[in-house]
Chains A and B, each alone.
Chain A
Amino acid sequence: MTVHFKQDEPDTRNLLDQGSQGVIGTAMSRPEGLAKVTGTAPYSAEYRFDDCLVGVLVTAPFTKGRITGIDKETALAMDGVVAVIDDSRMTARPAQGGAGEAPQQSPRQICYYGQPFALVVATSFEKARHAAKHLPFSYEADDVSDIPLDPETAETEAGDGGMQAGDLAHAMATAEHAVDVSYTTMGHASAAMEPHAAIAQWDGGRLTVHASLQMPNYNISELADALDLTEDKVRIVSRYVGGGFGSKLGLSEETTAAALAAMELGKPVKVVMSRQQVFQSIMRRSESSQRVRLAVDAEGRLTGFGHEARVSNLPGEEFAEPVLQSSAFLYAGENRLLALDVARIHQMTAGSVRAPGEAIGMPVLEAAMDCLAEEAGIDPVELRLRNIPEKDPGKGLPFTTHELADCLKKGAEAFGWDSGPRKPRQNRDGEWWIGTGMASAARVHNVAEAKARVTLNADGTARVQSDMTDIGTGTYAILTQIAAEMLGLDPANVMVELGDTDFPRGPGSGGSWGAVSIGSAVVIACDAIRQSLAKKAGIDADDLKLKDGKLQGSQPRSLSELLDGGNMSEEGHYEPGDISDDYTSSSFGAFFAQVRVNRHTGETRVDRMLGAFGFGRVLNEKTARSQCLGGMVWCIGSALTEALHFDPVDGHLVNCDLAEYHVPVHRDVPDLEVMLVESRDPAASAVQGKGVGELGMCGGAGAIANAVYNACGARLFEFPMTPDKVLADMPD
């Protein structure tokens, strides 16, 4: 049976707190952890199938134009080559997250440098790679001087998220204190460790694809649409994903190509992108230029709030990095202006990279707030506390739980924040200037429709099934805990099976909605089982106390007795209702950082960093903390080192490997401290929790930037703050 729960109202039943097992929220280790660290958890490219052929994508070495001919004969004459696939159904760019339909096809129309347009299939990887490099083809390339590549000069269109209220210009002119500051941020890559990979099998009637994807629930529709198949003819399996960070939200080019090859050749075909291909043809996070205007009265209360941004994307792509998303509600100010523009340029698709929007919007806003705090002579923590609005200042809606003040206060105390007057260049340790900075964190809360099947067996075991994925985040762990808590089982007796579209449709992993959405579906399914058990036991469901596989009470009864040796299975279906019309919901937090800046070289290193985060219920203390830690590592990268560099002549990405795209290394990451400020948010989801997957990187780069200023006096308006930029601005 399917039990459907549409959340139009806060869910005050608080079902998870009625469990008796005592495992929810605990720091349980991942059930699949041992398999992962011993290399026995199979990732998509690691399944072994007899007769598996290997395909390598061929990519365009120019920016825009048309492939006019492919000399298949020559390639087919090469050692081991079985086929050259140039089917017009190949996908030429990744689908945006949640698209649910095929992305741009017609691969011969080249829109960006590095676009895949053909697949060479051979008997071994080496042979396929060699032939792919030497596949002769002809093309007509547009003159590079005619191709828009620079967002500064390209044509722009208005993106979503704009709003205007009152008169910002007037507020600025009449303010007691005001700042008007402009920033730039450079593009980012997801840089997941596992490259994009797929193995496709076609049995003549049905396609099975093992692929590294975050959202099989959408990817199945995207792939079926691309191939002109009905969805019942497609199965996607994605049990383990070696990091996605947005880059695997949508169907990507290797999966479609593998599928088409398998269908044409009748044999399994494996396609794994090279690191360079991942960088060049998967999503980038758009660069941005942003302007922030803030006006306060004599008490430091915001009267004007402006945040305008320009991002970029390929012509025709709807996605525009939602830079202003949290600016819409984070701080007060009756005169408001938000505006987003999208420049149309021919670089690879811009799309979701972890925390799209806030990842670059929040650091900029928080850096501007630091300028304002200095201008107004108010402690930065205090300035934020004074400007937490009662209601969403744009929509006038109440918030669901609001943890910002709590996080600011608790974080400041734990960090040892000095609220005295702040001046740069006050602390030195030898060659190093030392300083501190802080920032708020905010990430809009998303939930998505989700289904999961829970089966309780007479032997006291349970099984949870959904096509939801675990992209390294801990889904296997938290669903084990939720089912164990609700059904009163030892977590060792709960088996979670994920990432297979033959199971009920989950929400996919993206937008930080995974845990709370699929968790809600599992709670609903378990609740239905509890209701049936209560009926069988002849008691009220509210009095049902399940623990260690037994119905507790004066006369404990085992589950098998209750189930008469059979099993009980329910499908939980969670659907977010129109509650979002009634509330604004966000996760909140605060970052505090101490950095050191070398006075000779401008090198910046983070000494310590603390984040306090509030996102409703903590489902698993360990996996939640890990998400926050990972987010803070991303803060360090986006503040100091991570940047995509594009050639100014033809726009190709030049630093497309992990040696030259600088994510932080261990030595860049000091002791990070995470505080979880827990609450229950009944309006956010049926688990009373909000999203946490991205929160840890929403603003922290601003805390680091502010600390750089406090340390050495370089007020920078460009991210990342590499030594060259720090030096250029550092007073002597």
Chain B
Amino acid sequence: MKPFDLQRADSLTHASQLCSERNAKPIGGGANLVDLLKLEVERPDRLVDINRLPIAGIERMDDGGLRIGALASNTAVAVDDDVRSQWPVLSRAILAGATQQLRNRATTGGNLCQRTRCYYFTNIDQPCNKRAPGSGCGAIDGVARLHAVLGTSDQCIATYPGDMAVALSALDAQVEIASANDRHRTVPVREFHRLPGDTPWKDNVLEQGEVITAVTLPKPVSGRQIYRKVRERSSYAFALVSVAAIIDMADGLITRADLAFGGLAHKPWHDPRIAEALIGKSPHEALFDKAADILLEDAQGYGENDFKIPLALRTLKAVLAEATGVQL
């Protein structure tokens, strides 16, 4: 672990200030960052402990939505009565991730910013454009089992590994961000994470000095909410493929189809064309195939992860069938 300077922020302004100087990073629960510090994948000069900031609350907003403070733990969010009854897909996604002990520790802000589990990213003796820009990508010719099939670049094929953000993407949540000089901005979760492109070291749109303060959920919508995570073992494993879905029907027709996918890309994948194809239609298998075609039109496998393409297709169809009562 590289020696670093540890500062405790006592206000948001102070936190952004501290984070904007030197090569600083905020630390939430540390469930991801501390592992990466030990491996020297992350080598900040300064850690800014934000845990004393008053941003751990979960509160209803005037418009019926919910504001989840960046320091609210994964456990607190997953067991929140409002979340469980009004936005159950979020609770289900969180509970599908990691373990109870990790969820107790993990914060909402930290979970959004968790880094890829690419094997080459975490081994500092291997090439990785995300960790060491320009060094190459070990995964493209290597073990790419966990890797992306959508939105990849020849620089990086990593996936965003988390579950919570997939549900947040389906829910069209917003990320509230504070930066130095008391500037604030709000970014939709769907635009928060990036594709790797030529700058794979940038996981998301946060700039140096910016700190997530909250995530807000729009007011509840009707429909069935499903989070389905496919994995080798039944717990404590990252998704091979996951689907978050909010599907509503009226008079035998689909009226809402908010879908997001995990395990497929460098970000929770959301494709508005899928909802367009589904809404107003009566559900049946051929329609689901069409939705899957749209999702996977540009999918590209890298050998070991080829299976994710049929798996995503089948998982999407299973979720749509479950949500609409269609028999496959």
* Chain A contact residues, CB within 8 Å of chain B: 61, 126, 129-130, 133, 431, 600-603, 605, 640-641, 645-649, 652, 654-655, 659-660, 662, 664-668, 722-724, 727-728
Contacts and interface: CB of A to CB of B under 8 A. Distances in A.
Contacts of B125: 61
Given A130-B1, A647-B142, A647-B143, 14 more contacts: A602-B311, A603-B230, A605-B234, A647-B126, A649-B142, A654-B123, A659-B117, A659-B236, A665-B236, A666-B235, A667-B233, A667-B234, A727-B307, A728-B307
Contacts of A665: 233-236
B232 A723 contact: yes
A649 B120 CA distance: 12
Contacts of B145: 645
Contacts of A664: 233
Contacts of A641: 232-233
A649 B141 contact: yes
Top 6 A-B pairs ranked by shortest CB distance? A61-B125, A724-B307, A654-B119, A600-B318, A667-B234, A667-B235
Contacts of A662: 232-233, 237
B40 interface: yes
Of the listed residues B123, B233, B317, the one surrounded by the most CB atoms of chain A closer than 10 A to its CB is B233
A724 B145 CA distance: 10
B314 interface: yes
B310 interface: yes
Contacts of A655: 119, 143
A659 B39 CA distance: 15
Given A601-B315, A665-B235, A723 B230 contact: yes
Interface string B202-238: 0000000000000000000000000000111111110
Interface in B269-328: 307, 310-311, 314-315, 317-318, 328
Contact of B240 (A652, A659, A723): A723
A251 B227 CA distance: 48
Contacts of A61: 125
Contacts of B231: 603
A727 B236 contact: no
A668 B234 CA distance: 6
B2 interface: yes
A647 B232 contact: no
Given A130-B3, A647-B142, A660-B117, A727 B233 contact: no
Given A601-B314, A665-B235, A727-B314, A660 B119 contact: yes
Contacts of B230: 601, 603, 723
Contacts of A723: 230, 232, 240, 307, 311
A649 B236 CA distance: 29
A385 B317 CA distance: 45
A664 B234 CA distance: 8
A728 B304 CA distance: 13
B88 interface: no
A176 to B, nearest CB: 39
14 contacts: A61-B125, A601-B311, A602-B311, A603-B231, A647-B138, A648-B142, A648-B143, A652-B123, A654-B123, A654-B143, A668-B234, A724-B307, A727-B314, A728-B307
A295 B328 CA distance: 41
A724 B311 contact: yes
A35 B283 CA distance: 60
B138 A727 contact: no
Nearest to A646: B143
Contacts of A640: 232-233
Contacts of B117: 659-660
B119 A600 contact: no
Nearest to B230: A601
A602 B2 CA distance: 43
B111 to A, nearest CB: 16
Nearest to A602: B311
A51 B233 CA distance: 44
A727 B311 contact: yes
Interface in B26-64: 38, 40
Given A640-B232, A665-B235, A668-B234, A133 B311 contact: no
A596 to B, nearest CB: 11
A659 B307 CA distance: 21
Contacts of A654: 119-120, 123, 142-143
A556 B219 CA distance: 84
Interface in B1-17: 1-3
B12 to A, nearest CB: 31
Contacts of B3: 130
